Amino acid sequence: MTQLSVKHLLGIKDLKEEDIQLIFETADNFKTIINRPIKKVPSLRDITVANLFFENSTRTRISFELAQKRLSADVINFSSSSSSVSKGETLIDTVRNILSMKVDMVVMRHPSPGACVFLAKHIDATILNAGDGTHEHPTQALLDAYSIKEATGGVTGKKVAIIGDILHSRVALSNIYCLQKLGAEVMVCGPSTLIPRHIEQLGVKVEHDLRKALEWCDVANMLRIQFERQDIKYFPSLREYSMQYGLTLDILNSIDKDITIMHPGPINRGVEITSEVADSDYSIILDQVENGVAIRMACMFLLAKHKE
């Protein structure tokens, strides 16, 4: 495998296992680069990247921007709140206007599932999906799997439980695809109202009891409750949710093995995870953030190649 099989990074579903391995190998090299005194390479010096964020983001946006700068790309940032989108411009018009200023690559986050696929069909630039609604968030899944590999020595054969609001989570879907392609077993755990129907058809186990999920897994990926996407109540109260599904040090200590704890952020301390757990040695949350930059550098480096 010497080249990615895709022209855009729209979702993990389109990737082959070899693509993921190639991204990981490339990310290994970028990780050494971002840990040395001069953290920059000139690879993308002739590329301009537009970061289009139609939805709020802290980590992903900073991580992408940092990755672009470490690759010497020129960067323009756009957020919908301060733009003409609020004046009624359509997505495709906004993007066409930006592209006419000679942009080669677009990193986009959008509240509508499939927005990136739509864009890839209609415009002539490399598209990276930075999260589209409740659909996919490919770079997050890649950095999660990479962090699991780094923390536990490999992904194949590992048991990973994704716990929390699966229904509204793009991280969950991308993680399921990615982990399964790499040979891991995946379980989703949460209240039945927050687990999509028929999800077991993706080949994942479904569990509603947090303790049983933890007893089964090697790695637990805790997800936030996505209130901004919930238009009805899915559980009686936040207090009840955190009593049932909040990860505490007491539960972790009562289980007879070490579990690696992950969280894609932002954390709601005291809801899905307590501060003690988030800041404990079990947690690799900050390693995930560090690896995010290396993974995004690798994705952009490999995708830039496709544009002649």
What tokens were used for 89? 């411009």
Residue 121 within binding range of other proteins, rule CB under 8 A: no
Stretch in the footprint of other proteins (CB under 8 A) among 20-28, 198-206, 209-217, 256-264: 20-28
Min dist CB 6 to other proteins, Å, is 13
Q: Tally the C-alpha atoms within 13 A of residue 281's C-alpha that lie toward its C-beta.
A: 2
Stretch in the footprint of other proteins (CB under 8 A) among 24-32, 135-143, 171-179, 284-292: 24-32
Stretch in the footprint of other proteins (CB under 8 A) among 41-49, 106-114, 218-226, 267-275: 41-49
Amino acid letter, 51? N
Amino acid letter, 267? I
Phi, psi at 203, each rounded to 5°: 90, 20
Min dist CB 296 to other proteins, Å, is 15
Q: By the 8 A CB rule, do 144 and 221 touch?
A: yes
Distances (CA, A) of 48 to 51, 69, 102: 10, 11, 8
Residue 232 within binding range of other proteins, rule CB under 8 A: no
Angle at 175 between CA 174 and CA 179, to 5 degrees: 125
Within 35-169, where are the H helices? Answer: 59-70, 91-99, 115-122, 138-152
> Per-residue contact track with other proteins, 47 to 86, x per CB under 8 A?
------------------------x---------------
CA distance 14 to 16: 7
Residue 2 within binding range of other proteins, rule CB under 8 A: yes
- Which residue from 40, 211, 212, 239 is in contact with other proteins, where contact means CB under 8 A? 40
What tokens were used for 156? 């194949």
Residue 87 within binding range of other proteins, rule CB under 8 A: no
Min dist CB 143 to other proteins, Å, is 18
Residue 251 within binding range of other proteins, rule CB under 8 A: no
Stretch in the footprint of other proteins (CB under 8 A) among 37-45, 160-168, 189-197, 265-273: 37-45
